[in-house]
Chains A and B, each alone.
Chain A
Amino acid sequence: MVVNKKAQRLSALARGVFVALLMFATLFPFYWTLLISLKNQNDAFQVPPDLIFVPTMENYQELFVNGDFGRFFLNSFIVCFFSIVLALAVGIPSAYIFARCEFKFKKAFFYILLVTRMSPGAVFVIPYFIAYMKLGLLDTYLGLTLIYFATNLGIIVWSLRAFMEDIPITLEEAARIDGCSLLQTMFHITIPLAAPGIASTAILSFIFSWNEFLFALLLTRNKVQTAPIGILNFIVFEKMNWGVIAAGSIVIALPVIIFGIAIRKYYVKGLTQGGLAGD
């Protein structure tokens, strides 16, 4: 028994060390980037690195004042916001029908949504580029919003269906007996009860759109450039100013880090429901 206890304590220690190393590897890059973003050019590349330095905001200033980064940031917000509102407007009613009704081609619909969700951007970007070139939609808010809307539909319908299926149908039936129409039932019973699911799904889609790279790179030029593309300007056109790039990285990552931590419990649920429950 004594040996057993010792072995247990030892394996607990090994586990602790392993998790500590894992967390260090996970977080050190963020810590380092934050440090670089707060150092001026001279302090940033000291060998060995100074642990004590006077933090400066000049990189952030440079980013927003001379780099005009606020504009890219705003573009990202505009495109993400409108594409998600649109995807919810189309997705919530369809998810309701998927959850509550049987109809022809239901499976086909579902597979198309699944493929939409999983396809690499390379599948869409060429046809979209050509179509947008002909329609004059390159570098427009409408153009980028439309493709984000399309790629968000998959995840939104898939996981909202799962959330709505979890709502007991008896509640809806009770409302129907009280004389509500189907439409009223959906608006007064199903949507309010599915609200937490809708909110987390919307946030998840926001993260995906915010992080999107390929479409934003090829379907925008200057006017509608989003933050993940805008930051590349500091690499290509100016002298490598790593402090500013670090500051930009922190600024772009911040909103999605907050959202990501907020919905971390949902992340698995939202994706699993869609992935495993698909018949």
Chain B
Amino acid sequence: MGTPAFFHRPGANGRRGTRSVTLQMERQRLQVAFLLPLFLALLVLVLVPMLSLFGLSFTNYKLNSSQIRFTGLQNYLDLFRDKDFLNAAGNTVFMVFWSVLLQMVLGVAAALAIQRMRRLRGIVQALIVLPMVIPPVVAGLIWRILLIPRYGGIHALLSGLGITDAPAWLTDPVSARWVLVLVSVWEWLPFVVLFILAALDSLPISPFEAARIDGANFLQELFHLTLPLIRPVLSMVLVFRIVEGLKIFPLVFSLTQGGPGRNTEELTYFAYSEGFTKFRVGYASASSMLMFAVLLVLIVLFYGRKPKEKRRVKHQ
């Protein structure tokens, strides 16, 4: 406490005697007044709930009973023996992995193609945002309408191409999972495209001219020049997509409700059905805590090594 507050600029402090002392006091008072609401909001609305979730995960709390008992690590031990939880974790990994992989590969390809467009680029860039700005639950409903067997738009398209033996998309265990992967690719590919396009647009021209003079072909240019240059953006988008990929719940809820069987149940759906249909809140809290832990690890991995990377880039 009591550390004087300075502007970033060196020498902004301590000029002109008394005036600057009052200025500093003014600045400090303003700081406290301006940050206090944020501090209180974060404390009450973010930190306390997070800590309560942590606390609840060590109890047997149920919504339909007033008894609550501390059970230590029991919930966590049970989770790792719970087939449904392991299934949900596996499904989450499956869906996030394939969805993010496809988004990244297609995203880079699409961004490269769009960047080289001479005409219509503005329109493409405007319309491509559509899937990612609509509510995920609406994306799910739209695709449910498209995938109605025999009458849906996808059936119409496929039979136009002569394919008539398509699976029952949402009721077949294998295809249901892939439908979720593909719909989430449809939904979030634009995000990857926009970020990579912005990165490509900001690249300097001279290395590319040099490469072309040296006779580099497209693939050499891509792997030795373009991708390394946009690596920071690629890794940021990757982390973002993984983190956001964990939020696939609305899509699952509107498309498959976790089914058929439990083939598309993912972690949030698991927590939802444990906590809000079986009322086992303590247990659901533990599963949410595990999901949260994964997120924290990702954030630390990404933001924790940030400064080092920055330094390395500077020294080069």
**B168 interface residue, CB < 8 Å from A?**
no
- Which B residues are CB-close (under 8 A) to A246? 141-142, 145
- The verdict on A102 contacting B8 (CB below 8 Å), with A146-B45, A153-B38, A157-B38 known, is yes
Instruction: Assess whether A115 is in contact with B299, with CB atoms less than 8 Å apart.
Output: yes
- The verdict on A127 contacting B134 (CB below 8 Å), with A94-B35, A182-B26 known, is no
Secondary structure at the A interface, as helix, strand, loop or mixed, is helix
**B219 interface residue, CB < 8 Å from A?**
no
What count of chain B residues pass the 8 Å CB interface test? 99
Chain B's nearest CB lies how many Å from the CB of A164? 12
**B127 interface residue, CB < 8 Å from A?**
yes
**A242 interface residue, CB < 8 Å from B?**
yes
Instruction: Assess whether B7 is in contact with A101, with CB atoms less than 8 Å apart.
Output: yes
Tell me the B143-201 residues at the A interface (CB within 8 Å). 143, 145-146, 148, 150-151, 153, 156-157, 159, 186, 189-190, 194-195, 197-198
Chain B's nearest CB lies how many Å from the CB of A69? 13
Instruction: Assess whether A121 is in contact with B247, with CB atoms less than 8 Å apart.
Output: yes
Tell me the A148-171 residues at the B interface (CB within 8 Å). 149-150, 153, 157, 169
Instruction: Assess whether A123 is in contact with B34, with CB atoms less than 8 Å apart.
Output: no
- Interface size class of chain A, counting residues whose CB lies under 8 Å from the partner chain: 35 or more
Chain B's nearest CB lies how many Å from the CB of A64? 17
**A54 interface residue, CB < 8 Å from B?**
no
Residue of B whose beta carbon sits closest to that of A98: B35
Residue of B whose beta carbon sits closest to that of A243: B145
Instruction: Assess whether A122 is in contact with B190, with CB atoms less than 8 Å apart.
Output: no
A183 to B34, CA, bound (A): 10
**A249 interface residue, CB < 8 Å from B?**
yes
Number of residue pairs spanning A and B whose beta carbons lie under 8 angstroms apart: 280
- Which A residues are CB-close (under 8 A) to B8? 100-102, 169
Secondary structure at the B interface, as helix, strand, loop or mixed, is helix
Instruction: Assess whether A207 is in contact with B133, with CB atoms less than 8 Å apart.
Output: yes
**Cβ contact of A253, chosen from B30, B52, B138, B236, cutoff 8 A:** B138
The segment from B74-82, B97-105, B222-230, B248-256 that touches chain A is: B248-256
Instruction: Assess whether A213 is in contact with B268, with CB atoms less than 8 Å apart.
Output: no
Residue pairs across A and B with Cβ atoms less than 8 A apart, 23 shown, are A19-B113, A26-B130, A26-B131, A32-B145, A47-B151, A94-B38, A97-B30, A100-B7, A100-B8, A109-B39, A112-B42, A119-B292, A120-B268, A121-B247, A122-B267, A126-B275, A127-B48, A127-B53, A128-B49, A129-B275, A169-B8, A211-B135, A217-B253
| Interface pairs A-B: 6 shortest CB-CB | A260-B133, A150-B45, A93-B34, A32-B153, A127-B49, A211-B135
